Amino acid sequence: MAYSWQTILLKHKISLVQRTQKSSGRSVWYVRIYNEKNRKYSLKSLHTENEKKAQKLAVEYYEQAMKGDVKLANTKIAFNTIANNYIKEFTNTQLSALVKKYRKQLLHNYPIKYFGNKELGEIKAKDLDAFVNWCHKQSGKQLANDTLKKITSATKSVFDYAVRYNLITNYPQFKPVKAKTAEARSFFEMNELVTMAGRAKRDYDLLVSEQAKIKRVYRNTDKPNSTYYVCQIGNKEYKNYDLYSVKGKTIRIDIKEKKAVLKIKYADRSYESSVYTADDLFQLRAFITFMSNTYLRTSEWSGVKVKHCTIKKLTKDEIKNMKKSAKEQLAKRKDTLAKFEKLEMFVVNSKNKNSDNVRVFFRGAVDTTRRLIQHYKLKADDYLFYNEQKRKTAERKMSAMFEDFLQFYKMKQSKTNQPRSAYSLRHSGIVMSLLNGVDVLLLSKNADTGVKMIQQYYGSRITNRMSGVLLI
């Protein structure tokens, strides 16, 4: 446990703490004295559970030590011991569970694993340099600057903890992490976004069509001890887990409680997580268009509820200030309801705690939000995506489905061989907005990131060969 030292005399030169002895199980008091000669601490048991008696004995011990009547022993403090005490301390703070979990993982995976039982006071600057080099090898790749900063920051927190409890007086500092040239984010081009959304819709329509062909589901009892359900589609009958192919897609009928549920099974995958219902594909299509039009992070979308979304008509001034090209493209749309509308969204899980969390989006965001609400008849307190699922379950399901989708349609790698993920949808929306001349300051507000970040990580992807297609 993290022990709370009580300083009782002479500016931290005498401190007391109550600890449980493993041998006896008694909670006895210990005295700690600072040895100025070698700049280390000495720890001694006072063999009493009484605090007042412990204070008296501690003062006597200190006076004897200063006279030279007792020899001050050096107390070795292992890095992993202090690190684990620090973990227990911040576990009891008001930090979010996610932050606590991430910091704990960083400490266990890097500094605790590296320094282990090494005495805290013996760690020098060269040891920290060696530690940084080891971190890269440990991860199996060159760590990103942000990740390395988080590791070194967590490690420094352990040293700060030790200083705060007077276990050490100071410690060496890490060398500043050298800034690297901004690495452009992986993203999908506009034609790829359209292709993905279109494929998800076609797969959804295929499953709905097959569902409509089901004539009946019945229980087969022809053979004793061989009872099973059968689904009849046209003149053919299928047992549970039977596979068949339609338009190059592998489909099966999953029969449960006399109900047939069509699922798609991608041919290059065999595990259960790659099997999705028509409803999953409806959600996937909505996810692709929603994320690329709202710039939301993957940590933000699952918390969005209907009550957080407000669809409003654009004001006359907003319409007046729109680009001519934007008005023309909106005018061509068949869905007149979305013609001059905007979506105001309150983002609960916003990364920026200092923002007002209200962001404004257009076109695709409006369409998708309305489609989800109408399709599922969602109410104010319902979640926009996978309302019936727990949030962690919804996040895992959507992440797995999107990854499988990219693999199946061979879109995992960009043209520059960068790996792409669901986070790339956010990057795509930002890049396309830049291409369409959206004001950077406005974009930074609605994307909840800095102007500098947009210029460094997104603006660098724009070339004179790219053409913008209006997203907003």
The pLDDT tens digits of the residues spanning 84-113 come to 888 888 887 777 777 788 889 899 999 999
pLDDT at 350: 58
pLDDT band at 276 (very low <50, low <70, confident <90, very high): confident
pLDDT band at 255 (very low <50, low <70, confident <90, very high): confident
Indicate the residue type of 1: M
Do residue 366 and residue 447 come from a single domain? yes
pLDDT band at 372 (very low <50, low <70, confident <90, very high): very high
pLDDT at 337: 44
Do residue 86 and residue 105 come from a single domain? yes
Distances from the Cα of 123 to the Cα of 176, 246, 284, angstroms: 18, 65, 51
Query: Averaged over 299-308, what is the pLDDT?
Result: 92
pLDDT at 320: 67
pLDDT band at 388 (very low <50, low <70, confident <90, very high): very high
pLDDT band at 342 (very low <50, low <70, confident <90, very high): confident
pLDDT at 338: 46
Q: Is the predicted pLDDT of residue 461 greater than 90, yes or no?
A: no
Residue position matching structure tokens 């404004």: 360
Do residue 439 and residue 451 come from a single domain? yes
Do residue 338 and residue 448 come from a single domain? yes
Chain centroid to CA 146: how far? 14
pLDDT at 253: 81
70-79, 245-254, 315-324, 434-443: range with lowest mean pLDDT: 70-79
pLDDT at 266: 59
pLDDT at 112: 92
Gap between the Cα atoms of 349 and 143, Å rounded: 26
The tens digit of pLDDT for each residue in 23-78 reads 666 778 878 776 666 666 677 778 888 888 888 888 877 777 766 655 555 556 78
pLDDT at 224: 67
Secondary structure (3-state) at 201: helix
Where a domain ends, among 263, 278, 293? Answer: 278
Residue 467: inside a domain: no
Do residue 262 and residue 369 come from a single domain? no
> 229 Cβ partners below 8 Å, 6+ apart?
217, 218, 219, 220, 239, 240, 255, 258
Residue 468: inside a domain: no
pLDDT band at 471 (very low <50, low <70, confident <90, very high): very low
CATH number of 445's domain:
1.10.443.10
Do residue 399 and residue 251 come from a single domain? no
pLDDT at 325: 56
pLDDT band at 467 (very low <50, low <70, confident <90, very high): very low
pLDDT at 329: 59
Distances from the Cα of 62 to the Cα of 66, 261, 338, angstroms: 6, 78, 79
Q: Is the predicted pLDDT of residue 368 greater than 90, yes or no?
A: yes
Residue 186: inside a domain: no
Do residue 90 and residue 227 come from a single domain? no
Q: Is the predicted pLDDT of residue 179 greater than 70, yes or no?
A: no
Q: Is the predicted pLDDT of residue 264 greater than 50, yes or no?
A: yes
**DSSP secondary structure of 53-117:** HHHHHHHHHHHHHHHTSSPPPPPP-BHHHHHHHHHHHHHTSSS-HHHHHHHHHHHHHTHHHHHTT
Do residue 361 and residue 445 come from a single domain? yes
Q: Is the predicted pLDDT of residue 336 greater than 90, yes or no?
A: no
Where a domain ends, among 217, 246, 278? Answer: 278
Higher pLDDT pick, 82 / 464: 82
Domain containing residue 438: 282-461
Number of H helices, E strands in the chain: 15, 14
71-80, 306-315, 381-390: range with lowest mean pLDDT: 71-80
Residue 191: inside a domain: no
Residue 181: inside a domain: no
Residue 192: inside a domain: no
Let me know: does 314 contact 342? Beta carbons within 8 Å: yes
Residue 72: inside a domain: no
CA dihedral 298, 299, 303, 306 (to 10 degrees): -30
Where a domain ends, among 32, 67, 102? Answer: 67
Gap between the Cα atoms of 302 and 384, Å rounded: 8
pLDDT band at 450 (very low <50, low <70, confident <90, very high): confident
Gap between the Cα atoms of 170 and 372, Å rounded: 57
Do residue 84 and residue 57 come from a single domain? no
Do residue 321 and residue 417 come from a single domain? yes
Do residue 141 and residue 241 come from a single domain? no
Residue 340: inside a domain: yes
pLDDT band at 354 (very low <50, low <70, confident <90, very high): very low
Percent of the chain residues past pLDDT 70, beyond the cut: 76
Q: Is the predicted pLDDT of residue 333 greater than 90, yes or no?
A: no
pLDDT band at 258 (very low <50, low <70, confident <90, very high): low
pLDDT band at 387 (very low <50, low <70, confident <90, very high): very high
pLDDT band at 11 (very low <50, low <70, confident <90, very high): very low
Let me know: does 309 contact 344? Beta carbons within 8 Å: yes
Do residue 274 and residue 286 come from a single domain? no
pTM of the predicted model as reported, rounded to 2 decimal places: 0.61
Give the chain's domain count. Answer: 4
pLDDT at 376: 95
Q: Is the predicted pLDDT of residue 273 greater than 60, yes or no?
A: no
CATH number of 134's domain:
1.10.150
Query: Averaged over 269-294, what is the pLDDT?
Result: 82
Give the H/E segment covering residue 312.
strand 309-313
Q: Mean of the per-residue pLDDT values for the chain?
A: 78
